[in-house]
Chain A
Amino acid sequence: MNRSKRLSAFLSILIAVLFLLFLLFPLYWMLLTSFKDNSVLFKLPPEWWPSKPVLSHYDKLFSDGVFLGYYRNSLIVCFCTTAVTLLAAMFAGYGFSRFEFKFKSFALFSILSTQMLPVVSLLIALYTMYNNYHLLNTRAGLVIALTTSCLPFSIWMIKVFFDNIPVDLEESAKIDGATRFGILFRIVLPLTKPGLFSIGIYSFILSWDDFLYSITLINKDELRPLNAGIAIRYIGELSYDWSSIMTVCVTSIVPITLLFLFFQKYMVSGLTAGAVKG
């Protein structure tokens, strides 16, 4: 009995280690490759630990005059998307949580089911519309499109947070003569901070991940965000100069990984609240 218990404990640790290798080794390999000189890169067997790490790929990347531009575009677009999503989702989530009205469940259901629609067929029509309204090749256009891809799940998540706040608080504030917006901003929102953090981070990650919207709606190189820029410029130009490509990769995941490590508590609680209850 004791022996089989120890065996099963050993087995589960072994399996956990295998999973860890699968999930984390690629990231280590990416980091390692970015520090390898091209003379080392193609050695077989490969170097598992850099014998003489070089920074030349990073130097080259930061001085090429384009990469930092892509980076800036991405930061601008993602911060704007996150801000607009937060604002719109917080209002809508509060409305859906506190008021009863006709077609409410229908509206909520339709909002959530937009997640199912194939993005490419949306894009075909969106492209023609953007063309008519002169929104192609503008940051505003991209932000609007990305916001709506973040909104459905954000509204759903933040509604769950509002649902968990007792209404009594608001009622007593109302008796004290507070306005509706006053109640929302001074009483309810401070209590929903974790929820706001969750949807903020969710939107940032989602917009940092975007590829399809930005390659379709932006054709000007100076407006391109990171992912589209990487795919269009670096893959072709560096034609599989893997150390440089891995350098691009490492650099572009720094902000998102830091954000995640600082705020992972909020993110996990937010996502599980939204998905498990929904």
Chain B
Amino acid sequence: MRLSEKKKDFLFLAVLILPALLLLLFTIGIPILKSLYLSFFDVSLLSMKTQTWNAFGNYKKLFADQELVHAIGVTFRYVVTVVFLQFALGMMLALILNGKIPFRRALRTVILIPWVIPTIIGALLWMWLFQPQYGVMNFILQRLELIGKPLQWLSDIHLALWAVTIAALWKQLPFMVTMLLAGMQGIPGEMYEAAMIDGAGKRQQFFHITLPMLKNTIKTVTLIACIENFKMFPLFWIMTSGGPVNATTTLSILSYKTAFIDLDLGKGAATGALWLVIMLLFSWVYNRLFAIGEGKGGAAH
């Protein structure tokens, strides 16, 4: 009797989790292994039946033509800039919305709207705002006399990445603010009262209470932001397609172009494989960094 109950439990558990696991295995587990496997072969989208081993040929090609190194550089520059900016600005806005500002409840809702707008709609919208002759961005900047002549936002090698970064910031800042705000509201008010009695100013309260208490939230949301931007595809694809002259070719654009435009699946898969290695290294280093912070925090108390 007892055994059969246990067996029933086991069956029930299997029915519960197997559908999700099988789905994930089919569209994520197997493809990722298969893609690693493909990266060692000559495969083209036109001749998928024939796959010939090419002795690391795909990887050799990648390192020979410099594109990969360039794309890694662009990706990191983009990810670091956009995550840093959204964290700094997000913290600022979250602090304001956590204070006594009029209409704060309504504001917290309204600012989230850009976050639900599909990425490609955001991309099109910002292309129109950045349009060189008739775009409102150049018009406003010229009126404020911040720039002399209209900027070619999306076709200037030095500006294109910034233009995409601004569009990404617009879409992602709301999520960052909401998460930080939720974290701040979880900090008990007595901590601030006690600090005030001890004579701590606003700045000291921020550095000694808010930041340390938010540590886990910060770790999670910045990691989510990093991952999301490492993978970012639609913004670049719509706004610049990787141009001008590869100035905005990130790893995702490079591997997509190689696989589905140049039709070289093998080389595309190899780019993806290296990208995967970079992601793993990155998240390892990331966790290490936060762990170091933890050790210090422990010693200080």
A interface, CB within 8 angstroms of B? 9, 12-13, 15-16, 19-20, 22-24, 26-27, 29-30, 33, 41-42, 44-46, 87-89, 91-92, 94-96, 99, 101, 107, 111, 114-129, 131, 144-145, 147-148, 151-152, 155, 180-181, 205, 208-209, 211-212, 216, 227, 230-231, 235, 240, 242, 245-246, 248-249, 252-253, 256-257, 259-261, 264, 268, 271-272, 275-276, 278
Contacts and interface: CB of A to CB of B under 8 A. Distances in A.
A95 B17 contact: yes
Q: How many residues of B sit at the interface, in one of the four size bands?
A: 35 or more
Contact of A120 (B16, B102, B268, B279): B268
SS class, residues of chain B in contact with chain A? helix
Contacts of B178: 268, 271-272
Contacts, number: 264
Given A122-B35, A128-B34, A151 B107 contact: no
A276 B183 contact: yes
Contacts of A42: 133-134
B151 to A, nearest CB: 15
Contacts of B238: 231, 235
A278 B220 contact: yes
Nearest to B134: A42
Nearest to A145: B27
Q: Which 3 A-B pairs have the closest CB atoms?
A: A121-B272, A95-B16, A92-B20
B60 interface: no
Given A245-B124, A276-B217, 16 more contacts: A16-B93, A19-B89, A27-B114, A92-B16, A92-B19, A114-B28, A118-B272, A120-B272, A121-B35, A121-B255, A123-B259, A124-B259, A124-B268, A128-B38, A144-B27, A209-B118
A24 B113 contact: yes
A124 B275 contact: no
B125 A246 contact: yes
A109 to B, nearest CB: 12
B121 interface: yes
A125 B13 contact: no
Contacts of A96: 17
A46 to B, nearest CB: 6
18 contacts: A16-B93, A20-B110, A24-B113, A29-B125, A87-B19, A111-B24, A116-B227, A121-B255, A124-B38, A124-B269, A125-B31, A125-B35, A127-B265, A128-B38, A205-B116, A242-B134, A271-B175, A276-B182
